[in-house]
Chains A and B, each alone.
Chain A
Amino acid sequence: MRHAKALWLILLLLSISTAALMGADGAWLRKVPQTDRQRVNPYADNPEAIAAGKLLFQENCAKCHGSDAEGRRGRPSLHSERVATATDGELAWLLRNGSLGKGMPSWSSLPEPERWQLIAFLRSLPRDGPPADAVRHP
């Protein structure tokens, strides 16, 4: 009886950790509503917005993602294929909502134009090769 309980407990823990790993694999992308996915960055390719986005990035994001956005201490690089292939709308959705279970906070405290400026900056980053952080969300 005791062994059965222990077995169930181990199975439960395994299920949770498996779900967590699966969830880390860009699962947030599947949550983005279609209307959000199609949104377009009003500041796309705007040099002023990219410069502003860079300052915002240094102020708010660099401590986790690194000042060069390469990622640090296990936190994902933003040069990744996943970020590069995500639509503006998907990135906007992620910044607004975060991925709370994976440690990415909501940035709804930043006004929406600033979030678009950040995305304009992210778009200006050079793209990595195949993502080294394939099991991480961006």
Chain B
Amino acid sequence: MAQSSQPLFELKSKGRRGPRLGTPSTGPLRHPLLLRFPLRQGLALLFFLLLSTAPSTTARAQEPPYFVTYSEILEEPGNLEIAQKGSTGSPKDSNGFYSATLELEYGAKAWWTTELYLQGQATANDSTIFTGFRWENRFRVLPTEHWINPVLYLEYEDVNGADKSVLEVTGHDSIAGFQARNAEGRGDISRTMEGKLILSSNPNGWNISENWIAEKNMMGGAWEFGYAVGASRPLAFAAASRSCTFCRQNFSAGAEIYGGLATVHDFGFRDTSQYAGPTAYFNLPHGPTFGFSPQFGLSSNSASVLWRIKISYEIQQFRDLFSRKEAR
């Protein structure tokens, strides 16, 4: 089953999603959550998770339940969201992995959100490593809401080839990125500038968002493109008059689809990864938000399924902690 007649991957041009080496690591395919990591690496991962889910004073606006797609919703000014985005899977001919991304999102202005990502991953029968960081900024272009709302996204990434976060898919990102051993991937560092045009609408309580991605590895390589599209809605549009935990208003659900669009030389779907799946968020009132999504590979270059989870806390008016301005 693991060895189909079709090549699983090809030696492609420079990509940042993995070293594209032709030797997949071998080992039993086991679910990564059940793996026995070495103690030190396990503790490091645990610390990473604990750090990213530390208690805080919280609440959360109704953010669309996307894992890859961005909507026009920005962080409220002064708020800090701390999130842990995880993805796990056992792609064919690869060891199971768990990728953890710590996300620090700050609302600098009502029209500007800035965000820092720190990324790491643990691979079964391999190692636990830090894979890099990203710094992104999102800017609302128009001062008022319209039937379609554009947001500009600019990001700098410094990640290595062992990154398995799949925060977006561009170019010819492929399953080969999961198959290289960490020692091989970590040496393949790419420094990339990425831009996105985020278009988002809210018709009749739904959110429909489309992202168009262009990125350039500053260390060489062609412009790469990708896309992400999501649609979602809260399960109830009106709030209940009593405080409740499991009311429908606290849940939102939807679906997203995303993938690569190759490069400026061969624009299209050929030899690209494509994923789609349902998504759901649960917003605990005055507490964290939990997200879950199974995302299914739609092409032979994709992992068959990626399981994604997200836990986020929002510290409201974080900047007040550093302000001496008196209450009115």
Q: Mark B52-95, 1 if CB is under 8 A from A, else 0.
A: 00000001011110000000111011100000000000000000
Chain A contacts of B77 at CB under 8 A? 103, 105
Contact B205 A52 (CB under 8 A): no
Take A109-B62, A111-B234, A112-B205 as given contacts and tell me if A100 and B240 are in contact as well, using a CB distance cutoff of 8 Å: no
Task: With CB as the reference atom, state the residue of chain A lying closest to B61.
Answer: A109
Chain B contacts of A59 at CB under 8 A? 59, 285-286
| A102 vs B109: C-alpha distance when bound (angstroms) | 9
Chain B contacts of A74 at CB under 8 A? 325, 328
B156: Cβ under 8 A from any A Cβ: no
A84: Cβ under 8 A from any B Cβ: no
Chain A contacts of B202 at CB under 8 A? 108
> How many chain A residues have a CB neighbour from B under 8 Å?
43
Take A72-B328, A73-B320 as given contacts and tell me if A113 and B145 are in contact as well, using a CB distance cutoff of 8 Å: no
Interface residues of A in 55-106 (CB under 8 A from B): 55-56, 59-60, 63-64, 66, 70-75, 77, 96-106
Take A59-B59, A63-B59, A72-B327 as given contacts and tell me if A100 and B239 are in contact as well, using a CB distance cutoff of 8 Å: no
Interchain Cβ contacts under 8 Å between A and B, 27 examples: A31-B144, A48-B241, A52-B241, A55-B239, A55-B241, A59-B285, A59-B286, A60-B59, A60-B61, A73-B317, A73-B323, A73-B327, A77-B328, A97-B145, A100-B110, A100-B111, A101-B111, A103-B77, A104-B110, A105-B74, A105-B107, A106-B140, A108-B72, A110-B61, A113-B238, A114-B249, A117-B239
Contact B110 A113 (CB under 8 A): no
Residues of A participating in the B interface, judged by any CB pair closer than 8 Å: 31, 47-49, 51-53, 55-56, 59-60, 63-64, 66, 70-75, 77, 96-114, 117, 132-133
Task: With CB as the reference atom, state the residue of chain A lying closest to B64.
Answer: A109
| A64 vs B314: C-alpha distance when bound (angstroms) | 14
Query: What is the distance, in angstroms, from A59's C-beta to the closest C-beta of chain B?
Result: 5
Contact B325 A111 (CB under 8 A): no
Interface residues of B in 205-253 (CB under 8 A from A): 205, 234, 237-243, 249
B7: Cβ under 8 A from any A Cβ: no
Chain B contacts of A104 at CB under 8 A? 110
> B243 touches which one: A55, A96, A111 (CB < 8 A)?
A55
Residues of B participating in the A interface, judged by any CB pair closer than 8 Å: 59, 61-64, 72-74, 76-78, 107, 109-111, 140, 143-145, 202, 205, 234, 237-243, 249, 285-286, 316-317, 320, 323, 325-328
Of A56, A59, A73, A111, chain B has the most CB atoms within 10 Å of the CB of A111
Contact A66 B76 (CB under 8 A): no
| A63 vs B315: C-alpha distance when bound (angstroms) | 10
Contact B325 A100 (CB under 8 A): no
Chain B contacts of A48 at CB under 8 A? 241
| A101 vs B63: C-alpha distance when bound (angstroms) | 22
Query: What is the distance, in angstroms, from A129's C-beta to the closest C-beta of chain B?
Result: 15
Contact B328 A52 (CB under 8 A): no
Task: With CB as the reference atom, state the residue of chain B lying closest to A133.
Answer: B328
Chain B contacts of A75 at CB under 8 A? 328
Contact B61 A114 (CB under 8 A): no
| A97 vs B243: C-alpha distance when bound (angstroms) | 27
Take A100-B109, A109-B61 as given contacts and tell me if A114 and B239 are in contact as well, using a CB distance cutoff of 8 Å: yes
- Using A66-B327, A73-B317, A105-B110 as known contacts, list a sample of 4 further A-B pairs with CB atoms less than 8 Å apart, ordered by residue number in A: A55-B241, A72-B327, A96-B145, A106-B140
Query: What is the distance, in angstroms, from A117's C-beta to the closest C-beta of chain B?
Result: 6
| A124 vs B234: C-alpha distance when bound (angstroms) | 26
Query: What is the distance, in angstroms, from A41's C-beta to the closest C-beta of chain B?
Result: 13
| A133 vs B328: C-alpha distance when bound (angstroms) | 10
Chain B contacts of A100 at CB under 8 A? 109-111, 140, 143
Take A66-B327, A100-B140 as given contacts and tell me if A107 and B61 are in contact as well, using a CB distance cutoff of 8 Å: yes
> A51 touches which one: B73, B242, B325 (CB < 8 A)?
B242
> B238 touches which one: A73, A108, A117, A132 (CB < 8 A)?
A117
| A100 vs B64: C-alpha distance when bound (angstroms) | 20
Contact A98 B328 (CB under 8 A): no
Query: What is the distance, in angstroms, from B148's C-beta to the closest C-beta of chain A?
Result: 12
Task: With CB as the reference atom, state the residue of chain A lying closest to B286.
Answer: A59
Take A107-B61, A111-B237 as given contacts and tell me if A73 and B242 are in contact as well, using a CB distance cutoff of 8 Å: no
